Amino acid sequence: MRTKQLGRTDLLVSEIAFGGVEIGVPYGIGVKDESDMLSEREAIALLHRAVDEGINFYDTARLYGDSERIMGLAFKDRREHVVLASKCRHLRQANGLLVPFAGLERYIRGSLQESLEALQTDYIDLYMVHYADAEILHTEEVEMIFSALKEEGLVRAIGVSVYQAEETEQALESGIWDAIQLPFNLMDQAHGVHFEKAYSRGVGIIVRSVLMRGMLTDCMEKLHPALYAVEQHIRSYRALMTDRFSSLPQFATRFALSHDVVSSVLVGIDKQQYLEEAIASAQGPHFDKDLLRQVQSMGYPQPEFLNLAEWDKNGWL
């Protein structure tokens, strides 16, 4: 497993990051409740196996159910071998408003303390704002609080998790954040327009949704009729696969990793099979410049249509 430096930080992270949401809460297509999840013992064994296979980067969050607690149990005796990324509780309340400024620092520090206790550690390597929207990114108090946590040594680096490309641009302009976690894949390349700026400013990029929740795998070749155009577009990528790529997930993963600014690709893992597939996908050469340019020009022409939550709601998945 290759490692890359996470932007301007001193963190060296594996090219595959273990996404911890699936071991903490029922999540993903086909997962209805806890009966579809790994047991605690199975999850810990899977995390240990991932470390043995060379994955050192683990992503979790305060809101991922038991994920932090399970990682704490798994890594309490091997903390020095892993890079832990976690996220603060959402800064928006149930009514949609931000946590009041008067209580914001207490709220963030309280969330961090809960994460430290669950993870059984006295520091977090990368601490992120969970879903940093435009208003949050314009809130100076958030920047100040997270910067203070870093100065105090409670966290080694700070970052944001975003959804919209405009939010990535805002995060870069602030100059505060060390890393940005964002969605990016063969189909939806909207955030890619900001990669050059991120690279020049030393901001590490962590990619999630690289397989579009399974759409870019060999298990989803025949889609619902409403997604015919999507299905045809995905087939256009298959036409570019040479003998260097044994599967579409491998092709998709190496596409993301072929961007110099991308330090790691986040993969949700809750089965040994998924772990093995993720590791295999990262092995081998990255794209050459010609292939990279060609695929960069092949993003889906209507990215706003790529709303998997809406597709699921419509019964298309």
* pLDDT computed for residue 27 by the predictor: 77
Containing domain of residue 167, as a range? 3-313
* pLDDT computed for residue 30 by the predictor: 66
At 249-274, the pLDDT tens digits run 999 999 999 999 999 999 988 889 88
Percent of the chain with pLDDT over 90: 80
- For range 31-45, the mean pLDDT: 86
Report whether pLDDT(184) > 90: yes
Q: Cα separation of 282 and 280, whole Å?
A: 5
At 40-85, the pLDDT tens digits run 999 999 999 999 999 999 999 999 999 999 999 999 999 999 999 9
Question: What is the pTM for the complete model shown?
Answer: 0.94
Report whether pLDDT(215) > 90: no
Report whether pLDDT(32) > 80: no
Q: Which of 257, 216, 192 is nearest to 1 (CA)?
A: 257
Total domains in the fold of the chain: 1
- For range 101-115, the mean pLDDT: 97
Q: At what angle are helices 272-282 and 40-52 packed, to 10 degrees?
A: 20
Contact 127, 87 (CB under 8 A): yes
Q: What is the CATH number of the domain that holds 270?
A: 3.20.20.100
Q: Model confidence at 312, in pLDDT bands (50, 70, 90)?
A: confident
* Least confidently predicted of 9-13, 205-209, 242-246: 242-246
| The CA-based dihedral angle spanning residues 90, 11, 193, 139, taken in that order and rounded to the nearest 10 degrees | 30
DSSP letter at 17?
Answer: E
Average pLDDT over the chain reads 94
Q: Which of 202, 121, 118 is nearest to 154 (CA)?
A: 121
* pLDDT computed for residue 104 by the predictor: 97
Q: Cα separation of 114 and 72, whole Å?
A: 12
At 272-298, the pLDDT tens digits run 988 999 999 888 888 999 999 999 999
Q: Cα separation of 9 and 125, whole Å?
A: 10
- For range 193-213, the mean pLDDT: 96
